[in-house]
Amino acid sequence: MTLDTAFTTTEEHELLRESVRALAAERIAPRAAETDATGEFPWEVYKDLVASDMHAIHIPEAYGGAGADAVATAIVIEEVARACGSSSLIPAVNKLGTVPLILSGSPELQERYLRPCAEGTAMFSYGLSEPEAGSDAAAMRTRAVRDGDSYVLNGVKRWITNAGVSKYYTVMAVTDPDAGARGISAFVVEDGDPGFSVGALEQKLGIKGSPTRELYFDNCRIPADRIIGAEGTGFKTALATLDHTRITIAAQALGIAQGALDHATSYVKERQQFGKPVAEFQGVQFMLADMAMKLTSARQLTYAAAAKSERAMAGNREDDLTFYSSAAKCAASDAAMDITTDAVQLLGGYGYTRDFPVERMMRDAKITQIYEGTNQVQRVVMARELLK
């Protein structure tokens, strides 16, 4: 394994960053606190992202998308997350839900579902986890039984991001219960399919503007042509998808951390204690230096992983993509938790109140260590890759 993480963004990447940052400052940041307080999905932000073609910027041009590379997609997610963690899950989850189609879907299926997502008329979610199959996703129990020209699905999916607002769902289900992971297949389920419903909102610590619900399949009948790839290839597609989309969670973590560092830096330069700005105290400077060091390191790793993801999508062999995507997600989310916690500390009592955004950022950062594979699981994945 070659551990080469050097990466430099292009001029186009930085111009994109400026554009997203301006949109986030004007349209997203002013709504972030209200989104967190109400727990309502930020539909106005979604409209703004659609108008700017940033809601699903990764979708190929052939299907009406912007065709942005993986680094550009990470930058969009990062800059939106810098203003609002909940809103950053719009481009992130659209990518999560559609990458299985991009990797394994037939041209007909891609045309049918990627184009509406690119146009902003539909969002995608991803159904892998279950009540008894989280980290051990291969233990899923949701079944899909072939019945003529249809599949009939029965089961439950849990922790589904943007469930209830998405129109389409990529769902993994067991088609051959005797084949283990090789008996899992992937399907597209549509909102409104008979026998499909969503559960109540989960009451969460953070990212409250992004709904999380269960998915229920009660003799849910879907056309057989909605299978993604061949029967039995679903789990392989799921793992390949996560190799690409863990990087989006790393990007979300970077944005949350950057937002917290920006607020903390601004605050300590203005806050006076003992007759001088708090920023002049060496202890505070050391904290800021450590925060920036962790963030910069995680960003380099994340962008390097994104570049590998892009090359893999283009058909190049990237044997260490799994390691890099897990390392980026783990490093960025751990850094985000550290940085946001230190930001609260630097603001003192104010940091603990909702008058400042850092307490929200700390709550939002926590989930990045958990979803798309806990950081404990990421360390298992990295170790396995090293020991191959």
Q: What is the mean pLDDT of residues 234-249?
A: 98
Residue 6, pLDDT score: 55
318 catalytic per annotation? no
Residue 7, pLDDT score: 74
Residue 340, pLDDT score: 99
Residue 50, pLDDT score: 98
Higher pLDDT pick, 135 / 352: 352
Q: Is pLDDT at 64 greater than 50 in this prediction? A: yes
Flag the least confident range among 5-14, 83-92, 146-155, 214-223: 5-14
Mean pLDDT (the chain) is 97
| CATH superfamily of the domain spanning 11-119 | Acyl-CoA dehydrogenase/oxidase, N-terminal domain (1.10.540.10)
Cβ-proximal residues to 100 (8 Å cutoff; 6+ apart), any chain? 126, 170, 186, 228, 237, 238, 241
Q: Is pLDDT at 376 greater than 90 in this prediction? A: yes
What are 152-210's pLDDT values in tens digits?
999 999 999 999 999 999 999 999 999 999 999 999 999 999 999 999 999 999 999 99
Residue 140 sits at φ, ψ, to 5 deg, of -60, 155
What are 327-367's pLDDT values in tens digits?
999 999 999 999 999 999 999 999 999 999 999 999 999 99
Per-residue pLDDT band for 1 (boundaries 50, 70, 90) equals very low
pTM of the model: 0.97
Catalytic residue among 78, 130, 318, 372: 372
- C-alpha span between 89 and 163 (Å, rounded): 12
- C-alpha span between 169 and 163 (Å, rounded): 8
Residues 235-387, CATH architecture: Up-down Bundle (1.20)
Domain chopping of the chain, boundaries:
11-119, 124-232, 235-387
What are 94-118's pLDDT values in tens digits?
999 999 999 999 999 999 999 999 9
Residue 30, pLDDT score: 98
Q: Is pLDDT at 8 greater than 90 in this prediction? A: no
Radius of gyration of the chain (CA): 21
The three-point CA angle 164-166-167 to 5° equals 110
Quick check: 211 and 41 in contact, CB under 8 A?
yes
Structure tokens, 209 = 């503007």
Reply yes or no on domain 124-232 having CATH 1.10.10.60.
no
Q: Is pLDDT at 3 greater than 50 in this prediction? A: no
Give the torsion through C-alpha atoms of 81, 82, 85, 87, to 10 deg.
-60
What are 288-330's pLDDT values in tens digits?
999 999 999 999 999 999 999 999 999 999 999 999 999 999 9
Quick check: 258 and 295 in contact, CB under 8 A?
yes
Q: Is pLDDT at 5 greater than 90 in this prediction? A: no
Structure tokens, 255 = 């944005």
- C-alpha span between 188 and 53 (Å, rounded): 24
Residue 234 — left, alpha, or beta (φ > 0 → left; ψ -120 to 50 → alpha)? alpha
